[in-house]
Every structure is written in C-alpha cells, then in structure tokens.
Structure 1
C-alpha cells in the first residue's frame, strides 16, 4: 500500500509540474488552452451513452471533467509506475519511463476516441506535448526517489 501512496504523491507532484509548464507555454506563446480534454469527455460520454445535460450544462461538465481526466492520468501513471515499475531505478531512467507512461496515458485514449491524430501533429504540437510530460517525469521521478530512500 505504501508504494501506491508514494506513486500517487509522485503523480500529483508531476501533474502540478506538467500543468505549470503548460501554462507557461500558453503565456509565453500566447496560445489558447487545448480543447482536447473537454472533447475527450464529450466523446467518452457519447461512447458510454451518458447524457451530460443540455448544451450549457454539458459544456460546463466537460470543462470540469476534462482537467480531471488529466489529474487521473497523472495520479494513475505515478501509482502504476510505483507498483509495477523497476524498483530503485536511476532518476534519469525513471524520468523517461514516467514521462512516456503519462504521455501514453493521455495521448492513447484521445487517439482511440478520435479526438486527435498524433500523425497529423506539427513539430510545435509535439513539443507542446513532450516538454510538459518530461516535466512530469522529472518531478515524479524525483519525488519517488526521495520517498523510496525513506523506505
């Protein structure tokens, strides 16, 4: 159970780092927020035949649930790595594995739901995805490394 809690803490810290890097990118490049989380919620609701309400209510629910999908992905990636990943891996290796796990955990469902198609992404699109996920990996790996040292 300790591994799960360590992973959840690392995932939460990594998700905070990912969000900060994303918001810095948005501010620096004056780009809008991505609509993919909200569109993912909409597609998921359609697939599962869940009624989100009238258009205004559904829009508000998508706006709230979209970011929560990101938190669930970040927490889940941290917990999964802590339970099933290599124990006491070097921080650099854990960084890469955690970044890839979090990136796959967000991009694969969006691709399967046909919200996005990574084959069509530009270099800037890829950078907007990779850099925040690397920040996630760095911070999550550092937190896990510190928590594992206290085991």
Structure 2
C-alpha cells in the first residue's frame, strides 16, 4: 500500500508542480524551459535511439522530456512511500524532504549531461525551480498523509 500511496502522492505533487510552473510562466511572461527536451535528446542519443529529424524529432524530444518529468515525480513519491511506510512523518519535514528529493532528481541529470550549472543560476532561475518543487513536496506529503491515514 505504501508504494502505491507514494506513487499516487507523487502524481498529485507532479500536478501541483506543473500548475505552479505554468502560473509562473503566466505571471512573469517567461517561456518554458528547453532543458527537459535537451536532456531527453541526449539520453536518447546515448541509448542509440533514433528520434528522427526535423520537427518530428523536436516533438519527440519535448514529449520525452515531459515524460521524464512525470517519471521523476512518480518515482520520488514511490520512493518516499517505501521509505516512510506506515510511519507518521511530520508534514513540514515530509514536504521539505520530498521537495529536495524531486528537485535533486530533476536537476542532477541536467548537471550530469552538462546542460546546466546551478552555480550560474540567477535569483529568478532559482525561484523558477524552487517554488514549483515546494508545491510538489507539500502536495505530495499531504496526499500521502491522507492516503495512508488509518
């Protein structure tokens, strides 16, 4: 049950992350990040997968980038479920832990692929990354708590 609850909580958290990110785009008029698509392209290349060329390849990279984001959110939630099990973790601690785990899991591959370096990020870039991940963590933690409450 805890793995399933964690995955479901991760899905709720991923929805919150997406909503926060899209609201940020609306409020500040910023464009979507191209990093997920770039990462998907590099990973596909390393795996020897041919994504085609031109607009079709661009679309496949964008789709794969988004799917990798969902996998990250569901995976972080599932891992939390396995680690937390039936224990009652205080909501603030669970939310911070889930936020940090999801942010690390999403940024670490980008760093490893040399697509970004957080040391070069400005304050706006940090806010654009931290706020949605906090929304993820809080939502996932609350959902997990609700799903596993006796």
User: What band does the TM-score fall into relative to the shorter chain?
Assistant: over 0.9
Give unpaired runs (5+ residues) of structure 2.
none
Q: Which runs of 4+ in 1 moved over 3 A?
A: none
Instruction: Give the match for residue 130 of structure 1.
Output: 130
What's the offset of the Cα at 1:56?
2.1
Give 1:65 shift.
1.0
1:58 Cα offset (Å):
1.0
Contact persistence 1:95–1:137 (CA under 8 A)? yes
Contact 1:88 1:148 survives alignment (8 Å)? no
Q: Give me the whole-angstrom Cα distance separating, in 2, the residues matched to 1:114 and 1:76.
A: 23
Q: 1:43·1:115 contact (CA, 8 Å) conserved in 2?
A: no
Aligned residues: 149
Partner of 1:73: 72
CA offsets per residue over residues 35-74 of structure 1, 9 Å max, x none?
A: 0110010111122222111222211101211111110000
Provide the aligned C-alpha RMSD in A. Answer: 1.1
TM-score of the two chains, using structure 1 as the length reference? 0.95
TM-score when scaled to structure 2? 0.96
1:97 and 1:137 in contact (8 A); partners too: yes
Matched, 1:90 2:81: no
